[in-house]
Every structure is written in structure tokens, then in C-alpha cells.
Amino acid sequence: MEELLRIMSEVRPDIDFEHETKLIDNEMLDSLDIVAIVTDVNDEFDVEINVNDLLPENFNSAEALYDLIKKLQYE
């Protein structure tokens, strides 16, 4: 989780990823942020986030994204 928070903060140092829960719904992130985060996550966690995973519910919070990563690693 710490690693994920580091990745996300590098992309958007202004956002409090530990507590924010509406990253997509409130349009806090944009497309370039998503690409940057997904690219780094794929590299660091050795997963492949799929286009079908690209849903607001997977990206609204760091915790939701962490759950997705764990799910992908398990598969």
C-alpha cells in the first residue's frame, strides 16, 4: 500500500491519496494521471491493468486500486 501511495503521489503530489475517495467522480484525476499511475503500477507490481478494469469504482481511491492490484496478482 505504501508503494502504491508513493506512485500516486509522484503523479499528483497535491492530492491526499490516503483519504480521498472520489478521485474519478469528482474529476480530480485526468487521463494523463491515469496513464501514468497505471503504467507505474503495472511495472512495480507486475500486473496488467486491463481496459475493462478502467472503471470509476477501481480508481476512486487508493484503497480501491490496491484491491484491484491484489485481485490481479491473485489471478
What does the binding site for other proteins look like in residue numbers (CB under 8 A)? Answer: 9-14, 16, 24, 27, 29-32, 34-36, 38-39, 49-52, 54
Please state, in angstroms and rounded to a whole number, the distance separating the CA atoms of residues 3 and 69.
12
Residue (2 or 51) nearer to other proteins, CB:
51
Helix-helix angle 31-45:62-74, to 10 degrees: 40
SS3 43: helix
Name which of 9 and 66 has its Cβ closer to other proteins. Answer: 9
Please state the closest distance from residue 22 (CB atom) to other proteins, in A. Answer: 14
